[in-house]
Amino acid sequence: MDLLSAARDLAQLGGNTARALLGSVSVERKQDNTPVTEADHRVQAAMLAVIAQCFPTHSIIVEESVPHPERHTAIRSAEYCWVIDPVDGTRNFARGSTMYATSVGVLLAGEPIVGAIYDASTGRTYSAVRGGGAYCDGQPIRVTSHANPADTTVLLSSFRRRPMEKAVAGWMNQLLYRNLGSLCLHLAWVAAGYADAAYAPECKLWDLAAGSLLIEEAGGVVTDVAGQRIWPMEINAYRGEDIPILVGAPAMHEQLLESLRND
């Protein structure tokens, strides 16, 4: 099985496994007070079982704890690393909403080479391979090449744990803004041209591994808030640190980045 097909299949497996549990799981709290459900654990376990069987020499980075890490090769010893977010949008999911995603990325030398995101709200699967373009259910996708200023839309994450930058408040006064409750969906939707840009000050590696590749392969730009590309990354040293990102169609990304720099 090639990596792209495997990533698509895993994303769909994860999304459908979660859907079967929708509305029937209890919610617990992790140490950082973020929610986690039985679905997060069961979806991740199902996906990791497939990776362990089909790609035993590969390593993994996942959002939730791993009951059997011995089934996977250590990061420092593996050529490829699978980065999994089993249910992105857990708060939505816990309330019975299908506005959630399952994300699967494959890294080589600290850089995404394959990515797939299953959008449970539509049943669509977005996928990309480095140098091979980005697709939604087999159809090519591209970031927006132009937008009517009155319709320019930025997807924003929440700002409960840190002050909102003045520049971002300015965007909200001038542009349309949305929050889907799932950063993985934000990235997939920018890649597909449903929105023009996305900004998130608190991202994790599992939020970005697939979606950033989708955007780059769809003709978009992915950087940190200083305008620097975030890949390649030293994944062996990653311990869950936040990775602030700004993504979008090239012209919109440049415009928003300039406003952040001038904040």
Beta carbons within 10 angstroms of residue 168's beta carbon: 20
Beta carbons within 10 angstroms of residue 25's beta carbon: 18
Under the banding of pLDDT at 50, 70 and 90, the label for residue 33 is: low
Percent over 70 (pLDDT), the chain: 98
Percent over 90 (pLDDT), the chain: 81
What residues have CB less than 8 Å from 201, skipping those under 6 apart?
157, 159, 162, 165, 225, 242, 244
- pLDDT, one tens digit per residue, over 102-137 is 999 999 999 999 999 999 999 999 999 999 999 999
- Report the pLDDT value the prediction gives residue 27, as an integer from 0 to 100: 73
Under the banding of pLDDT at 50, 70 and 90, the label for residue 162 is: confident
- Report the pLDDT value the prediction gives residue 147, as an integer from 0 to 100: 66
Asked whether 82 and 55 are in contact (CB, 8 A), the reply is: yes
In the chain, count of helices (H) and strands (E)?
A: 8, 14
**By CB neighbour count within 10 A (0-12 exposed, 13-18 middle, 19+ buried), where does 240 fall?**
exposed
Among 19-28, 85-94, 102-111, 238-247, which is the least confidently predicted range? 19-28
Asked whether 245 and 260 are in contact (CB, 8 A), the reply is: no
Tokens 């950082």 appear where? 32
> Which of 258, 252, 176 has the alpha carbon at shortest distance from 225?
258
Which CATH fold topology does 149-261 show? D-Maltodextrin-Binding Protein; domain 2 (3.40.190)
Stretch 226-249: mean pLDDT: 94
Higher model confidence: residue 36 or residue 249? Answer: 249
Task: Indicate whether 15 pLDDT > 70.
Answer: yes
Beta strand 197-200 with 176-178: parallel, antiparallel or unpaired?
unpaired
The alpha carbon torsion through 168, 169, 170, 173 (nearest 10 deg) reads 130
CATH number assigned to the domain covering 3-140: 3.30.540.10
pTM of the model: 0.94
Domain ranges of the chain: 3-140, 149-261
d(CA 11, CA 44) in angstroms, rounded, equals 10
